[in-house]
């Protein structure tokens, strides 16, 4: 049992009317019915791709022990340093709302003994994440992702497969103008040499960098490379590239990946500045962008040390995630046609009087079983008010049940455009309606 809120707080709010309407928390938007059709489509496509490639779905808790992200996401990452919603439970546990999915899925992998399963283990998840960001277009404090992880195989073919399947989800959603950007950030053998060279390179230019990058110089120098500030662009121009320092293993890994991408005919580019924000990446990092709006839709990479950091055996892995809100924005802008399940354009059911009201709900169930979508406003009593509502909802056909019809087990079918009416028996209403309104059968 959780503890009760403190009595003093409860007393304070008792019987007190609010002077202002409470708003949704900043950066945590409501998901409204107008977006639902797009989100359902995205959900469906992600699940279809997960099924096809054999990914098992995991539903994760919204909060995890803060330690999981300190060690997993990494203490020097932007997410841990500035973006976590952390809190202490009444019992004294230190938790954080999940800012990403990868460490959490690795926790499941270790905690549930998935390392005993045949490798690679493929996991998939879908849900909301929380990062304390400055809200702006495409960037929220609560946002959704779908995420795929392939655990237990270090072959670059799985880097390519991950990129391909993420690309497929976007392609299946008919999102055009996609570009895969790839890079390698090496491993513990070769990256320290690159990092040292970056330190040397930026040392004399430190004062010219933006204030964020001056901080990054100390604790996360790689991130200077993907800083978006105008001021830093010319300074980074001649910065050392990882590709010039790769060890033999990392070089051949990257070469193989590029060959796979060629073979798959994916549109890709090498971006030497791409490093991604998380501490755990090794070798491959990638993003998929929509080039029209220059929006990053998908981010991912290989993370061969993470399972070990979290207490498991050395286990190579690769994964990626796509942000749902950005997809919704694109689908909405392009007015991509998806199935319209909205309440508009439906057959409208009107009931008049007590007797009909009693039968109305049952009639709705009969229609549902016959796969006929209906709309209603049962709370309105008059014929005029209900017809007005039908008109607002663009219903081309209306069913009217009054006292007499309720007793006779019939209903009036009315074509709103022509005004023509016909009496239909409820017993075979499904068949009767199907003759009249083929378009309304789902």
Closer to ligand AMP by CB, 80 or 298: give it.
Answer: 298
Site string for ligand AMP, 234-253 (x = CB under 6 A): --------------------
Stretch that binds ligand AMP, among 85-93, 120-128, 293-301, 421-429 (CB under 6 A): 293-301
Annotate each residue in 91-110 with x if it binds ligand AMP (CB under 6 A) or - if it does not, as one string. Answer: ---------x----------
Shortest distance, CB of residue 441 to ligand AMP, whole angstroms?
A: 37
Report which residue's Cβ sits closest to ligand AMP: 323
Q: 282 vs 68, 80, 107, 429, CA distance in Å? A: 19, 19, 19, 63
Cβ proximity to ligand AMP: between 210 and 295 the closer is: 295
Residue 234 three-state SS: helix
CA pair distance 424, 397, nearest whole angstrom: 13
How far apart, in whole angstroms, are the C-alpha atoms of residue 425 and residue 412?
9
Detail the DSSP E strand segments found in 354-425: 374-376, 397-401, 410-415, 421-425
Token reading at 354 = 């007590």
263 Rama class: left (phi>0) / alpha (psi -120 to 50) / beta: alpha
**Looking only at residues 140 through 159 of this chain, which bind ligand AMP when binding is defined by CB under 6 A?**
140, 143, 145
**From 184-192, 248-256, 290-298, 378-386, span contacting ligand AMP (CB under 6 A):** 290-298
Cβ of 249: how many Cβ atoms within 10 Å? 14
Q: Is the CB of residue 390 less than 8 Å from the CB of residue 416?
A: yes
Q: Which is nearer to ligand AMP, 249 or 293 (CB)?
A: 293
Q: Do 240 and 198 touch, CB atoms closer than 8 A?
A: yes
Instruction: Round to whole Å and give the CA distance between 287 and 320.
Output: 9
Compute how many residues bind ligand AMP; rule: CB under 6 A: 17
Q: Binding to ligand AMP (CB under 6 A): which residues in 17-56?
A: none
CB of 297 to ligand AMP, least distance (A): 5
Distance CA 219, CA 222 (A): 9
Q: How far is the CB of 147 from ligand AMP (least distance, A)?
A: 8
Q: How far is the CB of 15 from ligand AMP (least distance, A)?
A: 39
- When the beta carbons of 38 and 140 are compared against ligand AMP, the nearer one is 140
**Phi and psi torsions of 110, nearest 5°:** -80, -45
Residue 405 near ligand AMP by CB under 6 A: no
Q: Dump the DSSP string for 246-301.
A: --HHHHHHHHHHHHHHHHHT--EEE-TT---S-TT-EEEEEEEEETTTTEEEEEEE
297 touching ligand AMP, by CB under 6 A: yes
**CA-to-CA distance for 161 and 90, rounded, in angstroms?**
44
Give min distance, CB of 430 to ligand AMP, in A.
44
Per CB under 6 A, the segment of 50-58, 132-140, 228-236, 404-412 that binds ligand AMP is: 132-140
Q: How far is the CB of 224 from ligand AMP (least distance, A)?
A: 17
d(CA 58, CA 203): 45
Hey, how many other C-beta atoms are within 10 angstroms of the C-beta on 414? 21
Site string for ligand AMP, 182-211 (x = CB under 6 A): ------------------------------
Burial class (CB in 10 A: 0-12, 13-18, 19+), 309: middle
Closest CB to ligand AMP among residues 334, 358: 334
CB of 289 to ligand AMP, least distance (A): 8
CA dihedral 138, 183, 128, 59 (to 10 degrees): 160
**Cβ neighbours of residue 35 closer than 8 Å, sequence gap 6 or more:** 328, 332
Closest separation in Å from C-beta 61 to ligand AMP: 18
Question: Considering the complex, what minimum distance in angstroms separates the CB of residue 278 from ligand AMP?
Answer: 7
The smaller minimum CB distance to ligand AMP, of residues 325 and 405, is found at 325
Residues 250-279, mask of contacts with ligand AMP (x by CB under 6 A): ---------------------------x--
316 lies in the site for ligand AMP, by CB under 6 A? no
Write out the residues near ligand AMP by the rule CB under 6 A. 100, 131, 133, 138-140, 143, 145, 277, 296-299, 321, 323, 325-326
């Amino acid at each position: 049992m959780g503890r009760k809120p403190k009595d003093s707080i409860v007393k304070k709010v008792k019987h007190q009317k609010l002077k202002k309407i409470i708003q949704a928390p900043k950066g945590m938007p409501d998901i409204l019915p107008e977006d639902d059709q797009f989100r359902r489509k995205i959900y469906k496509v992600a699940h279809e791709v997960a099924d096809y490639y054999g990914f098992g779905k995991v539903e994760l808790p919204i909060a995890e022990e803060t330690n999981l992200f300190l060690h997993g996401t990494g203490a020097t990452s932007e997410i841990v340093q500035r973006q976590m919603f952390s809190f202490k439970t009444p019992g004294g546990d230190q938790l954080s709302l999940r800012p990403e999915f990868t460490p959490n899925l690795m926790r499941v992998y270790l905690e549930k003994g998935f390392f005993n399963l045949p490798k690679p283990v493929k996991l998939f998840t879908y849900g909301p994440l929380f990062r304390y960001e400055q809200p702006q277009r495409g960037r929220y404090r609560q946002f959704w992702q779908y995420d795929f992880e392939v655990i237990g195989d270090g072959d670059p073919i799985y880097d390519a497969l991950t990129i391909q399947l993420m690309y497929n989800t976007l392609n299946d959603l008919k999102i055009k103008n996609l570009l895969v950007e790839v890079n390698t950030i090496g491993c513990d053998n070769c990256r320290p040499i690159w990092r040292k060279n970056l330190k040397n390179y930026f040392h004399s230019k430190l004062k010219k960098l933006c204030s964020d990058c001056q901080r990054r110089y100390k604790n996360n120098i790689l991130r200077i490379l993907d800083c978006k500030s105008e001021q830093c662009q010319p300074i980074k121009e001649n910065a050392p590239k990882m590709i010039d320092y790769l060890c033999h293993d990392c070089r051949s890994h990257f070469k193989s990946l590029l060959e796979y991408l060629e073979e798959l005919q994916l549109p890709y580019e090498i971006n030497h500045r791409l490093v991604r924000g998380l501490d755990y990446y090794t070798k491959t990092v990638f993003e998929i962008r929509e080039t029209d709006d220059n929006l990053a839709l998908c981010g991912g990479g290989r993370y061969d040390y993470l399972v070990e950091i979290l207490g498991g055996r050395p286990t190579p892995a690769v994964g990626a995630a796509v942000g749902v809100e950005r997809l919704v924005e694109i689908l909405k802008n392009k007015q991509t046609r998806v199935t319209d399940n909205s309440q508009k354009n439906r057959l409208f059911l009107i009931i008049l009087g007590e007797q009909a009201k009693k039968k109305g709900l049952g009639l709705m169930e009969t229609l549902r079983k016959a796969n006929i979508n209906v709309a209603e406003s049962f709370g309105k009593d008059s014929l005029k008010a209900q017809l007005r509502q039908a008109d607002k909802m663009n219903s081309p056909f209306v069913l009217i049940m009054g006292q007499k019809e309720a007793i006779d087990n019939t209903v009036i079918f009315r074509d709103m455009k022509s005004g023509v009416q016909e009496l239909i028996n409820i017993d075979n209403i499904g068949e009767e309606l199907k003759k009249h309104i083929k378009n309304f059968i789902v």
